[in-house]
Homo-oligomer: A and B are copies of this chain.
Amino acid sequence: MEEHLSARGRQILEAIIEDYIATAEPVGSRTITRRHPLSLSPATVRNVMADLEEMGFLASPHTSAGRIPTDKAYRFYVDSLLAVKNISRDEQEEIVRRCSLAGKDIGEVLQETSRMLSSASHYMGIVMAPRFGANVFRHMEFVKLGSRRILAILVSQNGTVQNRIIETDEGVSAADLTRMSNYLNDLLQGLTIAQVRKRLVEEMQSEKSRYDLLLAKALALSVKTLNEEDAQVFIEGQVNILDQPEFADVGRMKDIFRAFEKKNTILELLDRAMAAEGVQIFIGSESRLSGMPGMSMITSTYVTGQNTLGVLGVIGPTRMGYAKVIPIVDYTAKLVSRLLELE
């Protein structure tokens, strides 16, 4: 299998991929010559196409149909052929407009970002919220709701808030709560959440907590909160992919939706994306995570300083408008990074 393509081979492959991205129909030799100024006859193109098929870049659904690009072709396209478009000023402005902190909490901002990614790309937007554990402890507060019900609020450096309801057996005074939160705030100031967790466990075994049942309970609950590792993921615009012709079949559609319902498949993928920096592209079955064959994902990490906070991106069919989507994801990731910057 000769891996080196001739210039003409690349040109034709590119033409086929772009046609297929545009139409979702298998593309034939005549179509190519008609739509692209190659000054070649269909017959010649056919010869080249046969070569490309042999090399694994193309596949034919059946003898008398045109050819469609394989995942390998998309990979090659993305790596070597693709000329990423620049993002237009209008698009930039739209993105900035829709991702603002103004009057929203972090969760809402990220969800809106996901919606924006979806509508800008016409595919699905996906945003993984910062893992709480990677964060720096900022503040803890207990609020009395009823006589036996207390709300614990935990704030991290980047503005993420977690809250939990604690049920107590005996009543607690407001003064007790203040004392407790002061105590814990002192104890935990400046630690990362991971360190906080460790410290809390130590504290639970200490003398002090043995005599302070409420404190013990609060500690136990805090630890539990902190252990929660299932990062939040916002997937928006699932309707968009219903418009893609490849999902016209109901069975196919069900599979996709079901795959998204249990988010752990996606999470695994996103975790991988977290590992690398910058824009990443997962094509079709490359991401061996079965769940979603025929889908591609373009992601980018968002960061503050040297900390990777999370990942965001777009999921669509392998037949995706990479040239248009890549800069959108890139720009959005940079914007979100800036928004969440500590300072």
Contacts and interface: CB of A to CB of B under 8 A. Distances in A.
A225 interface: yes
Among A103, A104, A157, A238: residue with most chain B CB under 10 A: A103
Given A155-B143, A165-B106, A248-B250, A148 B343 contact: yes
A151 interface: yes
Contact of A151 (B145, B155, B162, B225): B155
Main secondary structure, interface of A, reads mixed
B157 A105 contact: no
Given A151-B159, A161-B153, A242-B253, A146 B343 contact: yes
Contact of A239 (B157, B164, B224, B254): B254
Among A148, A164, A254: residue with most chain B CB under 10 A: A164
Interface string A230-258: 00000000110011000011100110011
A1 interface: no
Among A161, A228, A258: residue with most chain B CB under 10 A: A161
Given A242-B254, A257-B239, A153 B141 contact: yes
A164 B105 contact: yes
B148 A139 contact: no
A149 interface: yes
